Amino acid sequence: MSIFKKIMTAIRGGATEIGESIVDSNATRIFEQEIRDAEHHLTKAKRDLTGVMAEQMSASRDVDRLKRDVAEHEGYAVQALEKGDESLALAVAEKIANLESELTTQQQALDSFSGNATRLKELVKKSERQVAEFKRQLSMVKTTESVQKATSAITDNFSSSNSKLLNAKDSLERIKAKQQKFDDRMKAAEVLESEDSDNSLAAQLKEAGIGATSTSANSVLERLKAKQK
């Protein structure tokens, strides 16, 4: 069963009971063990690969050397034939035959090492992918567990503090009202500020004798005198 299905089944089956572990606690241990095993295989495969690659290099050097030897002796044989020394040419030819047989053996060894190296490289890649996959699954299991535990801590906190999660629409209304209040206060502050500046302007005008002047005894007397006329 896939880890997704396992988690879903566990959540649906067991989430009603708060505090009850959603994921089988063995699951974590099993994944951790599987990761350790896969990592162990990986280390071993890498070590084997290093050994095989060293052998491959050595075989490759031997093959090159033998090829050079064969070519060299072929030259000697031709020279011997040119000098008409048939028996020497035969001796060289025998040496070449030996070298060629050795070359065949070494070439076979090289092919085998190369094949092994390729196979081991694939194995390393496969193991690396497997480790990554196990780690991803472990992360899912752990996250599920952690969220379940976090949720129960949150729920405990709410029930112990006697507060509870409010109805979503009520919460929204309250938040909006607070925002509105804040906006209103900002607006009021702006109005107040502009009123203040109006007042200060009026004061300046008054001081300069411009605009409405305050009623004084003299002005009242003037007004009364004007009425008498």
Partner 1 sequence: MNIHKIADHLNTLADDSETGMNFDCQPISGEVDVLQITVIGREELPIFVSVTDDQILCITYLWGIDEVKPECINTMHESMLEMNIPMPLSSFAKIGDKYVTFGALSISSTFSDIEHELGVLSNNAIEVIDDMSEYLI
- Contacting residues toward partner 1, per CB under 8 A: 15-16, 139, 142-143, 146-147, 149-154, 156-157, 165-172, 174-175, 178-179, 182
Token pair, residue 156, equals 């405990």
Minimum CB–partner distance for residue 189 and partner 1 (Å): 17
Nearest CA to 26 among 152, 141, 135, 153? 141
Residue with Cβ nearer partner 1 (4 or 204): 4
Q: How far is CA 82 from CA 56, 79, 88, in A?
A: 39, 5, 11
Nearest CA to 73 among 60, 88, 84? 88
Minimum CB–partner distance for residue 26 and partner 1 (Å): 18
Residue with Cβ nearer partner 1 (99 or 141): 141
Contact 99/72 with Cβ under 8 angstroms?
no
Collapsing DSSP states into helix, strand and coil, what is residue 137? helix
Minimum CB–partner distance for residue 148 and partner 1 (Å): 8
Which runs of E-coded beta strand occur in the chain?
none
Give dist(CA 138, CA 22) in Å, integer: 14
Residue with Cβ nearer partner 1 (20 or 64): 20
Token pair, residue 122, equals 């694939």
Minimum CB–partner distance for residue 51 and partner 1 (Å): 34
Residue with Cβ nearer partner 1 (90 or 166): 166
Residue with Cβ nearer partner 1 (95 or 142): 142
Give dist(CA 220, CA 218) in Å, integer: 5
Minimum CB–partner distance for residue 108 and partner 1 (Å): 48
